[in-house]
Every structure is written in structure tokens, then in C-alpha cells.
Amino acid sequence: MNNQPERKKILLLEDDSFFADLFRGLIEEAEFECVWVRSISAFWQTFDPREFIALIVDNEVVGGSFIDENNITRIREMTSEMPIALNSGFSQKGVASKYKCEETNKDLDKLRDFLRKLQIYHTPHK
């Protein structure tokens, strides 16, 4: 019987395997489990707001642009509070503020900060 606590899961949407490996390493270093998908269709087949504690999404992926009204609106209808990092290589300030997302823009320091906040929030307090 495994007595280790189950690691919290983060869903990573990134179609570039170089960046996916880099980001997965940071996620696992922060002691979260990373579930990586490459396309919008795979994202919707995998996403369950009860299973994941956060999302890290790139915009331009297989299947088109993720950050369009339909995808973000759909996520926010399912879960209004789930932390989302917009990890595109360009600014999405309007989308980020409208949909309560954090911009990380493939910046490793910003992504580490996002993960640190998750660690603080999901660490049991005694």
C-alpha cells in the first residue's frame, strides 16, 4: 500500500516539445505532477476541474488559438477560481485581466513565481 500523498496535478498545454520538457521539469521540481497535452482537442479530452489545481497554457498550439473567447469562457464557466498561467511568448494583458489569469509568457522566473504561489496555497498548514 502506498502511503505517499498524491501529488497535485497541473495541466500543461504546449505543442513545442522543447518548452514542454523545460516547463514539465519546473512543475515536477515544485513537486506537482505534470500532465502534458499538445492540442486544444487533447486539452478538452483531459481537462477536469476536479482533477487539476492549475493550468499552464500556450496560445498558438495544434488546433489553433487557445486564448479565444470560447476556450477561456468555457474554463471560467467550469471553474471561476482555478489559477491559469498564460504562457504564450507575447503579452495577453487584456485577456489576462478579464479572465483572472496570470501572464508568464515563457519567462522561467514568472513561471517559478506562479508555481511558488501554488505551493504555498496547497501546502497543508499545521
The three-state secondary structure class of 64 is strand
C-alpha cell at 48: 477536469
Can you tell me whether residue 37 is helix, strand or coil?
A: strand
Pairing of strands 60-61, 9-13: unpaired
Work out the angle at residue 100's Cα, subtended by the Cα atoms of residues 59 and 104, and round it to the nearest 5 degrees.
45
pLDDT at 1: 46
Burial letters 43-80, b for 16+ CB under 10 A, else e: beeebeeeebbbbbbbbebebeebbeeebbeebbeeee
Distance (Å, whole) CA 44 – CA 47? 5
The predicted structure's pLDDT at residue 105: 87
| Regions of the chain with pLDDT less than 70 | 1-5, 69, 89-93, 124-126
With residue 4 as reference, give the H or E element that holds it.
none
Domain boundaries, the chain: 9-121
CB of 56 closer than 8 Å to CB of 12: yes
Selecting from 3.20.20.150, 3.40.50.1110, 3.40.350.10, 3.40.50.2300, what CATH number does the domain 9-121 have?
3.40.50.2300
